[in-house]
Chains A and B, each alone.
Chain A
């Protein structure tokens, strides 16, 4: 069973069908978060030791004040903020996620996001996928499975 967390603010709109396609897979158990706050609380829940976390790059902060210091960032790039947070606290509140694999699923290109591939995030190149390159549901599901094996 692949335990998946997918963070994206469009899960109820343009990604609704992809979200449903995940539910059709018997070996994938999915949680969803629509903003950074929701994602943060799911990630800090020690009972939710996810195998795969799939992250969009831009989404709203959500209601929690922990994001206030990032409030001035106009581009809403909380995805990298979350990934950085998790990677920098692997000994602390995110220690239960030591075996988790991380992936990015976005409309942006890799070139726009060089920070993802450098420490502390150090995302493997193949763990980044553009949404336009996984239009087909099978490609998308295969990407999740590949992340789990990465």
Chain B
């Protein structure tokens, strides 16, 4: 048995053993493999080994509750300096059916050749529960303390010093506990409370840290009174709950998001304030829910993740990020969040705060909208006045080319203009001849001929440009004519030339005014719409009244007739003005929704075939419970992904191709129309398909766009 040890080492162990085996403790010696080869009486009693038996077959490993602990003991002893006792090893042993918490004092012996532990002598002693607990007291995540009869600290663990922000527990020993209370009279109150209830639980006790900060603790305190009822000592446990309270009570949402096994991001922790933002009462209701349930769209979520990842790439948190979120009821909230990934978690765990600015933003926005709405109203009034004035100027100066009360006959105007330009050409040729005959300065004549040459040589493609171009050159020519008046040229010739110049100026001005008037008329429905949107009121269906939906639709159609005529788009509908279909609604809101949808349909209409003017088609289908309105147009496409992701109904989103040929817009109309229709209990759906034979993703071809609106009817 002892053959594994060299005789010299065995002798060394024996001598050391003999020196201490008489002590009243269990002393035994083992080989490195755990084989016990020496044991005194106390050790035999401790391990239940008969006194008279030899130690054959006894291995200390068999007494370990967990045999793996033996390896840990050996590891600790290997780090022990040779020849010195290691006094601080605690283990759980099992003797028979009895578990014993034990402390080992061990002296290891090392093999000279291998420098490995060859044997050891151990003194084993049982530990009481208190001793066992005291071993771990400093590792516990709670503060322990003891007070004497004067309520001064006599003992405390490391956590207590940490909670109170002291670096050394000795600095706390002897300190009256009253010095640690935030409120000075709290110590007396505690003593009184303990006299009444010796085992006291205080949920929120405010203490003063070293440095002056407040720490709030939960405290369990136990007092020991003597026979006379005076407290001789007290002890207790404190747990720092300061940040638990802050997290619970702070009026801002705190959250933690984790990716689950499927990669789905879920809320794994949150405070109640965060839960409230999303319409829940408590944290428990939101835990485990997917974050994407609360983003308004996949695009919005993707944009947020992109920004977060970009910030993380630069080792920064994402700060003051503004995004729209929705609660469990689908209501939108304006959220600002500060968020960052937790280090070392491979971007699968993030923490942050969220502020709900909905009310604040909403209030500010309403003020802004009201102000801007009022300003826009005034502006529209001014533009309307200007429009009237322009109309009158057209009438006054274009009296001979009017097609009707409102518009000039452009073709007739162009013909007249052509005649004047031709006559002006002849007059200039004659002037040139006379100038040469009468010796008029060539420079003077050249001043007049230059704009004439420019006008003759360059023709513009657009009517508006042509008018401007001719007018600019006529202004130059008129100035040159004024200079020629001072020469000896025939007055009649100059007068005739001036008359032609003035006529060209008049007709080009009338043309420009008329075209500008059309531009104004084309733009003004958008201003009207935007003003009405800014001045809108919240739709309360309880205030709604049954109204004839067909009449509202026809009103909107008539309002846009002027716009459609300028756009050269025909409005086709199959609505009998005498029919009546009642819908419980807010008339102004529905009118705005229809105006917007019709305006879009007209604006985005175009036709490839010049002989076939574009048109929009409005159809109405009455069903038992609902009315379905379909607005169809051919023209600018809406891209497939914009339809699939519902991007078109998002606030401020314009279709990617909506800018086609300078078409302006706000990106609010469809959002607004969707909002209005759904608040009336209806639905709105949009499709955009290629015209027959055209490929689906070549958006330069005309597409058939259809809007389907369904509204519940009043029976």
Query: Residues of A at under 8 Å CB distance from B?
Result: 9-10, 12-13, 16-17, 19-21, 23-24, 34-35, 60-61, 63, 71-72, 74, 76
Please indicate the chain B residues that have their CB under 8 angstroms from the CB of A63 in the complex: 657, 699-700
- Contact present for B662 and A34 (CB under 8 Å): yes
Interface range on chain B (Cβ under 8 Å from partner): 20 to 34
- Contact present for A23 and B656 (CB under 8 Å): no
Partner of A20, one of B465, B652, B659, B700: B465
Chain A residue with minimal CB distance to B454? A24
Please indicate the chain A residues that have their CB under 8 angstroms from the CB of B529 in the complex: none
- Contact present for B656 and A13 (CB under 8 Å): no
Please indicate the chain A residues that have their CB under 8 angstroms from the CB of B468 in the complex: 16-17, 20
Partner of B662, one of A9, A19, A23: A9
- Contact present for A23 and B652 (CB under 8 Å): no
Partner of B656, one of A9, A12, A71: A71
- Contact present for A13 and B662 (CB under 8 Å): yes
Nearest CB in chain B: distance from A85 CB, A: 19
The complex places the Cα of A100 from the Cα of B191 at a distance, in Å, of 89
Nearest CB in chain A: distance from B111 CB, A: 71
Please indicate the chain A residues that have their CB under 8 angstroms from the CB of B652 in the complex: 74
16 more contacts with CB within 8 A, not counting A20-B472, A63-B699, are A9-B662, A10-B662, A12-B464, A16-B464, A16-B465, A20-B468, A24-B454, A24-B473, A34-B662, A35-B659, A61-B656, A63-B657, A63-B700, A71-B656, A72-B303, A76-B659
- Contact present for B469 and A23 (CB under 8 Å): yes
Partner of A24, one of B462, B472, B653, B657: B472
Give 22 A-B contacts (CB < 8 Å), ordered by A residue. A12-B662, A13-B662, A16-B465, A16-B468, A19-B465, A20-B465, A20-B468, A20-B472, A23-B458, A23-B469, A24-B454, A24-B472, A34-B662, A35-B659, A60-B660, A60-B662, A61-B659, A63-B657, A63-B700, A71-B656, A74-B652, A76-B659
Which 6 residue pairs are nearest across A and B when measured between Cβ atoms? A60-B659, A20-B468, A63-B700, A71-B656, A24-B472, A20-B469
Chain B residue with minimal CB distance to A64? B700
B519 at the interface (CB under 8 A from A): yes
Please indicate the chain B residues that have their CB under 8 angstroms from the CB of A24 in the complex: 454, 472-473
> What 1/0 flags go to B301-327 for Cβ under 8 Å of A?
001000000000000000000000000
Nearest CB in chain B: distance from A56 CB, A: 13
> What 1/0 flags go to B437-460 for Cβ under 8 Å of A?
000000000000000001000100
Chain B residue with minimal CB distance to A10? B662
Please indicate the chain B residues that have their CB under 8 angstroms from the CB of A16 in the complex: 464-465, 468
Please indicate the chain B residues that have their CB under 8 angstroms from the CB of A12 in the complex: 462, 464, 662
The complex places the Cα of A94 from the Cα of B659 at a distance, in Å, of 27
The complex places the Cα of A20 from the Cα of B519 at a distance, in Å, of 18
Chain A residue with minimal CB distance to B462? A12
Please indicate the chain B residues that have their CB under 8 angstroms from the CB of A34 in the complex: 662
Nearest CB in chain A: distance from B663 CB, A: 9
Nearest CB in chain B: distance from A71 CB, A: 6
Nearest CB in chain A: distance from B9 CB, A: 77
List B447-490 residues whose CB lies under 8 Å from chain A.
454, 458, 462, 464-465, 468-469, 472-473
On whether A9 and B659 interact (CB within 8 A), knowing A23-B458, A74-B652, the answer reads: yes
Chain B residue with minimal CB distance to A20? B468
The complex places the Cα of A84 from the Cα of B618 at a distance, in Å, of 46
Please indicate the chain A residues that have their CB under 8 angstroms from the CB of B303 in the complex: 72
Please indicate the chain A residues that have their CB under 8 angstroms from the CB of B464 in the complex: 12, 16
Please indicate the chain B residues that have their CB under 8 angstroms from the CB of A35 in the complex: 659
The complex places the Cα of A79 from the Cα of B204 at a distance, in Å, of 61
Chain B residue with minimal CB distance to A76? B659
The complex places the Cα of A61 from the Cα of B639 at a distance, in Å, of 14
List B674-715 residues whose CB lies under 8 Å from chain A.
699-700
List B605-645 residues whose CB lies under 8 Å from chain A.
none
List B47-90 residues whose CB lies under 8 Å from chain A.
none
The complex places the Cα of A21 from the Cα of B468 at a distance, in Å, of 9
The complex places the Cα of A9 from the Cα of B700 at a distance, in Å, of 18
The complex places the Cα of A18 from the Cα of B657 at a distance, in Å, of 27
Nearest CB in chain B: distance from A76 CB, A: 7
Please indicate the chain A residues that have their CB under 8 angstroms from the CB of B465 in the complex: 16, 19-20
Chain A residue with minimal CB distance to B451? A24
The complex places the Cα of A23 from the Cα of B700 at a distance, in Å, of 31
The complex places the Cα of A19 from the Cα of B466 at a distance, in Å, of 12
Chain A residue with minimal CB distance to B659? A60
Chain A residue with minimal CB distance to B515? A16
Please indicate the chain A residues that have their CB under 8 angstroms from the CB of B656 in the complex: 61, 71
Nearest CB in chain B: distance from A117 CB, A: 23
The complex places the Cα of A19 from the Cα of B468 at a distance, in Å, of 10
The complex places the Cα of A63 from the Cα of B661 at a distance, in Å, of 10
The complex places the Cα of A107 from the Cα of B659 at a distance, in Å, of 19
The complex places the Cα of A41 from the Cα of B517 at a distance, in Å, of 34
Among A16, A71, A74, max chain B CB count under 10 A is at A16
The complex places the Cα of A23 from the Cα of B462 at a distance, in Å, of 14
The complex places the Cα of A69 from the Cα of B454 at a distance, in Å, of 44
Nearest CB in chain A: distance from B695 CB, A: 14
Nearest CB in chain A: distance from B590 CB, A: 29
Please indicate the chain B residues that have their CB under 8 angstroms from the CB of A60 in the complex: 659-660, 662
Nearest CB in chain B: distance from A109 CB, A: 21
Nearest CB in chain B: distance from A43 CB, A: 20
Nearest CB in chain A: distance from B630 CB, A: 28
List B504-554 residues whose CB lies under 8 Å from chain A.
519
Nearest CB in chain A: distance from B638 CB, A: 14
Partner of B519, one of A13, A21, A61, A71: A13
